[in-house]
């Protein structure tokens, strides 16, 4: 997972889970040392790294909760949801080398054949053929998931920075074909991925979206350097 963090308040990194037959970079946070205004950040204070501690993972999880879910303050008695004014710096903070940092962005890089409840990419073709024949080999296919940036810091290019870092990590792992799922009505996310080089490959059947009670998804593909189709 990748983490984007900043200071006095913003940062994160992630552990590298190498279980077979799939691999997941569990948290790549972007962290920062100083948020200049509620809607602007000093990029010189940002770091992007893999999470390496429980505190970083917790801070990243807090960012995901406040980004993807809306709960009443008393719901489940979750402490982070009852902090005054939904304070990013209070909820998503961790300490590193004696310095307070804040997670402002995070995503997962998954090296695997597919993701649960999501449509599956078909590239590289030789990889799919090996699997059909029951032959196990190195996973050359990967997926991005759980991509989020703090709401207060949208439109600062942080999502683009996170995706750029994830592409470098995926290439280092030997991934040649990188995928991401995005809701058909999520225009900002689609623009981010297309700016990052992703193109349309497939879309989710309407029946599956209805069955899972969610907006229909598009599957976007990116060929990384080393891919013969790139």
Residue 177 has pLDDT above 90, yes or no: yes
Indicate the domain borders of the chain: 2-223
Q: What is the pLDDT of residue 118?
A: 94
- CATH homologous superfamily of 2-223 equals Gcn5-related N-acetyltransferase (GNAT) (3.40.630.30)
> pLDDT band for position 139 (50/70/90)?
confident
Note if 193 is an active site residue: yes
Percent of the chain with pLDDT over 90: 38
What's the pLDDT at 51?
80
What are the pLDDT digits (tens) for 149-169? 988 888 889 999 999 999 999
Catalytic residue among 28, 143, 179, 193: 193
What does the pLDDT average to over 106-134? 79
Question: Going by C-beta distance under 8 Å and a sequence separation of 6 or more, which residues neighbour residue 32?
Answer: 4, 5, 6, 7, 9, 10, 11, 41, 42, 43, 45, 46, 47, 101, 102, 104
The β-bridge partners of 37 are: 40
Kindly report the pTM of this predicted structure.
0.77
């Amino acid at each position: 997972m990748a983490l984007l963090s900043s200071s006095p308040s913003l940062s994160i990194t992630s552990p590298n889970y190498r279980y077979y037959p799939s691999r997941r970079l569990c948290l790549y946070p972007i962290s920062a040392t100083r948020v200049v205004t509620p809607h602007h950040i000093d990029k010189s204070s940002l770091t992007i790294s893999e999470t390496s501690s429980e505190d970083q993972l917790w801070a990243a999880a807090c960012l995901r909760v406040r980004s993807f879910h809306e709960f009443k303050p008393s719901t489940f008695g979750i402490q982070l949801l009852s902090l005054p004014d939904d304070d990013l710096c209070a909820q998503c903070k961790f300490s590193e080398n004696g310095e307070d940092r804040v997670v402002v962005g995070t995503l997962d890089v998954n090296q695997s054949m597919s993701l649960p409840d999501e449509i599956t990419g078909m590239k590289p073709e030789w990889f799919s053929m090996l699997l059909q024949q029951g032959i196990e080999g190195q996973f050359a296919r990967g997926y991005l998931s759980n991509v989020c940036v703090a709401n207060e810091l949208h439109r600062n290019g942080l999502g683009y920075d996170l995706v750029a870092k994830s592409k470098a990590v995926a290439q280092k792992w030997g991934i040649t074909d990188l995928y991401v799922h995005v809701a058909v009505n999520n225009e900002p996310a689609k623009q981010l991925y297309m700016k990052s080089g992703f193109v349309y490959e497939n879309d989710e059947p309407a029946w599956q979206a209805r069955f899972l009670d969610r907006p229909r998804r598009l599957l976007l593909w990116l060929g990384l350097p080393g891919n013969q189709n790139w």
